[in-house]
Structure 1
Amino acid sequence: MNETAAPRTGLTRQIAERGNSVRFDDLQARVKTIATHSILDFVGLSIASANLPLIKALIAEALDQGGREESSAVGSFTRLPAAWAASVNAGAGHVLAYDDVNMVIPGHATAVAWPSSLALAEISDASGRHVLEAYVAGFETTCVLGELLEPSHYDMGFHASGTLGAFGAAMSASRMLQLDIDTTAQALSVAATMASGLKGAFGTMLKPFQVARATGNGVLAARLAKRGLGGRDDLIEREQGFAVTHSKSALPLELPRSETGSYMLQTLYKYHAACYLAHSPIEGAALARQRPGFDPDLVQAVTVTVNPMAGKVCNIDRPKTDPEVGYSIRTLVAMSLLKMGVTRPDDLKVSRVAEGNVLPLADRVTIAFDPSLPDTASRVHLRTDRGDFEIATDVGNPEEDLSKQERQITNKVRLLAEPAIGPVKTSQLIERVLNLPDLASLRPIAEALRPST
């Protein structure tokens, strides 16, 4: 076989083919389990965020525009058009910056793949297996585009969850609509014309808004492709297409594959309500705090060394708004050293940061950069009245024990959802999501998102 021969099809069609080939029975058992964990995590976050300003604004705009009542959305008593419902649910699950992350993107694949799958599942009354196939297909699509275009895409300032996420949402929607490969390729090209997102919006409500619109646009792209809209089946790789205008990476002829067999296996979960690039410094500070005799009042200076990527994402000096707190390594390290929780979304408030010794300690924190460090690693060096010490951590390794992971995510979901819907409904929702492949219909999950009358 000639290894240098051109592939039978271009990258856009290869992505369409791969997404259409996802079958439930072929998925690794571990992939199926992680998929339900990610969906459960996201559903809990969506419910907790139903009354936040972004979600209220999206719902109000959707209701003003009108349209067919198709799909359930958190915070909305009535169903919304599917693209709007997908946008609302995506924004709700991502607005707290607490959803799962995959560093291949780097970003949030569940945030686009799940809401787009769910919105269309409610219309067709699809089974859990069908939805899981669509979700995994969209998740893998978002990740493989990350492998194709990163790191330059992200380094150029693009918010990958918003840009690449539009393709993932389009793939999930295409699978839910049972589009063939030709039409799916057109859907991906339609999505390419709408894919957008800027890292300059981080620390504001525009960040989750970008994810919301990417998801809704993905649903729209698939539905329009089904109606015949298209014109290109190579808009990712062609000259003046998406890849060359959004990345400096050289494109391969063949679509890459995850070394583990599925990008889903590289999923990481957040147990701090902050940017994932700040998690390692938070953990390092927590370990420092646990040293015998540690006293934050004796800290003279702290140097946090991270990969330069963190400097472009979560290096806000003095947060002025609540969302900015989760993107300020200095502030988060100070809070962790002071044993102030950063686990609940309500922990990250400017008013809370202003209390006590957070700001004086944060002023003693310096951020340094080391390109050799993984994006998920850090070194926290403390100079104290009792001497110097340094702690290195890396939060880039997925949990091996899936039973432990399920307990952690279940506890997190209870923490998030019970104040909104109560313990009984939360328990029912947890059971349904964890057993999603066995469900004949996803309507009970979708309907649980809407507020009770």
Structure 2
Amino acid sequence: MSDRAPLTRTLAAYIAGFTPDALPAEVMDYTRVLAKDGIGVLYAATHESVTAAQGICDFVEEIAGPGACTLIGRNRKVDPVSAALANGTLGYAADFEPHHPEAILHPIAVMIPTALALSEAEGRTGAEALAAVALGCEMTYRASMAMNPRELYDRGFHPSAIAGSFGAAAAAAFLLGLSEEQTVRALGLAGLQTSGLLAWQDDPREDARPFQMGLAARNGVMSAMLAKRGFGAPDRIFDGGHVVLEAYSDVAVASKLTEGLGTVWDGVMELAIKPYSSVSFLHPALDALVGLLDDNALTSQQIEKITLRFAEAGAHCVDDNPLKGHSAQYILPVRAAMGRLSFLDLFIDRRESDPEVARLAASAEVIRDTGAFNDAFPDFYMGEILLTLTDGRVLSATSKVARGYPEQPLAQAELDRKFEEVTATVCSPARAKALAEAAETLYSAADVSTLTALLAQAPDA
């Protein structure tokens, strides 16, 4: 059987034999940092302005079956599949969670809800929940890189959703204790459910965008649960027949699924923590913008026009996108005019209430680069900002690697401040402090109940 499906079998065998002790210490340490950041952003998404979170949780409250899994912000326990769907949607709703620049992924948004749901259902320890997060992120990364994330984007697919289904299946298989044979089927069933059209960019409410992460979490959890019950599935999803890699890519490199498996953890260690609540493509440009504003002591009133140069291959995602969080013509003016950027700006249109934001937004434009910027994408989201000032000067700055990338990590004080600021939108300082402590001590917790009990509570701010 292994000769029939060497790649699928190799992955399944690794997942079936995985234990938290298999993680190098530095990988677990960074997973703990990533998880705390993701947990804060996840809970912030319960804010009443986040329509995707309100809509999906209302839906799940109406249709979900009873279970052991927390529906975040609703003081309700539901079945694992429903919890993964709803909480996975919350995970990406604020667009502020850790991401993988090269592989164009948001795996933390998928893996924390997956890990929490099945850790509650199976009585797993905090260390096991964190290990599942790391495993799922790594498998998501490997699937994306094997398919080629730029190829996926060019075809109109979101790598996070396509590859995320496999990562969630791997995390769920580990937490459910699946055998190698069962894990083969879980991966096969996840492959059947892969989905994720970038068509969500045409939903200005930004409900469809995070829904894709909810689907990935749901797909992985349901696949593993069905496999555990003996449900049939393709047994060579990465190897032959209508192989999933070739379905999504003409330039797939299947060997990237297994190269360095168990020793190289780039799917975790290369994750970046967002300093800005917007599409990650804009983060280098935001750094450049902030640098120009600060270095030249500029006010927004001195700016006549904001111009962004960005790679042609990714420009469709940021050039006048209907989604506020993906529109350079919105995000850059908000930061310039308001002196900050909040995840709530994605759901409350500041152009309608702030004349200065509206003025700058009307002036902003994107130049689609077909040269060096395009060549660097998606390994680097290079952005050049040009500010045309009212006195006739033109200032420019280019950024290649944003703050929050592993090469330029955020300081601990910045991470703490981010957690405090996002949770302050939905809960009291005392509850935010308790949530931070539960996230920080999850590794040593006998189970995840302390954390999930806090996440279950309705917003109080």
Provide the TM-score with structure 2 as the length reference: 0.88
Written as runs of structure 1 = structure 2, the 5 A alignment for 1:329-348 is: 329-342=328-341, 344-348=342-346
- Say whether the 8 Å CA contact 1:325–1:350 is kept in structure 2: no
Task: Please provide the CA RMSD for this pair.
Answer: 2.5
Q: Structure 1 residue aligned with 2:385, among 380, 384, 392?
A: 380
Which residue does 1:33 correspond to in 2?
29
Question: Is the Cα contact below 8 Å between 1:326 and 1:348 reproduced in 2?
Answer: yes
Q: Which residue of 1 aligns with 2:432?
A: 426
Quote the residue 1:288 is aligned against.
292
Distance 1:360 1:400, change over 3 A: closer
Match of 1:242 in 2: 244
Maintained 8 Å contact 2:182/2:227: yes
Q: In 2, Cα distance between the equivalents of 1:17 and 1:309?
A: 37
CA, structure 1 residues 58+337, in 2 after alignment: closer, same or farther (shift >3 Å)? Answer: closer
CA distance in 2, matches of 1:329, 1:313: 9
Quote the offset at 1:338 in angstroms: 2.7
Once residues 358 and 15 of structure 2 are traced to their aligned partners in structure 1, the CA distance between those partners, rounded to angstroms, is 48
Segments ≥4 residues shifted beyond 6 Å: none
Distance between the aligned counterparts of 2:412 and 2:80, measured in 1?
30
Deviations 1:177-218 (A, max 9, x none): 010122111101101111101112035210111111211121
Q: Find the aligned partners of 1:243 and 1:48 in 2 and give their Cα distance.
A: 35
TM-aligned CA deviation for residue 401 of structure 1: 8.0
Counterpart-to-counterpart distance in 1, 2:300 and 2:374: 29
Structure 1 residues not aligned, in runs of 5+: 1-5
Quote the offset at 1:442 in angstroms. Answer: 0.9
Amino acid at match of 1:56: Q
When residues 244 and 452 of structure 1 are mapped into structure 2, their CA distance, relative to the original with a 3 A threshold, is closer
Give the one of 67, 70, 73 matched to 1:69.
67
Q: What's the CA shift string for 1:111-157, capped at 9, x where partnerless?
A: 11221111011122211222122221111110001110112112211
Contact kept? 1:191, 1:217, Cα under 8 Å: yes
Q: How has the CA–CA distance of structure 1 residues 387 and 373 changed in structure 2, closer, same or farther, with 3 Å as cutoff?
A: farther
Verify the 8 A CA contact 1:98 1:274 in the aligned structure 2.
yes
Give the corresponding residue for 1:91.
Answer: 89
Per the alignment, residue 103 of structure 1 pairs with: 101
Give the Å deviation of 1:350: 5.1
* Separation in 2, partners of 1:110, 1:349: 22
Q: Deviations over 1:343-385 (max 9, x none)?
A: x222345542232222332333331223134442211123333
Structure 2: how far apart are the matches of 1:451 and 1:171? 29
Correspondence 1:81-230 to 2 at 5 A? 81-150=79-148, 151-202=150-201, 204-230=206-232
The DSSP-based 3-state class of the residue aligned with 1:79 is strand
Instruction: For 1:11, give the aligned amino acid.
Output: L
User: 2:312 pairs with 299, 308, 315, which one?
Assistant: 308
- Give how far 1:439 is off: 1.0
Letter in 2 for 1:359: A
Q: Does 1:18 align with 2:14?
A: yes
Give, in angstroms, the shift of residue 159 of structure 1: 1.3
Q: Does 1:413 align with 2:419?
A: yes
CA contact (8 A) 2:158 2:198 kept: yes
Write out per-residue CA displacement over residues 378-421 of structure 1, whole angstroms, 9 at most, x where no aligned residue: 1112333353332011235734687x544322221221223433
Mapped to 1, the partners of 2:434 and 2:97 lie a distance apart of 21
SS at 1:304 equivalent: strand
Contact in 2 for aligned 1:20/1:137 (Cα 8 Å): no
Shift of 1:15: 2.3
Contact 2:4–2:236 at 8 Å: present in 1 too? no
Contact kept in structure 1, 2:269 and 2:406, CA below 8 Å: no
Distance change (3 Å), C-alpha of 1:331 and 1:401: closer
- More displaced 10-residue stretch of structure 1: 301-310 or 100-109: 301-310
How far is the alpha carbon of 1:9 from its aligned partner? 4.4
Q: CA deviation at 1:235?
A: 1.6
Residue 389 (str. 1) matches residue 395 (str. 2): yes
Count of residue pairs the alignment pairs up: 441
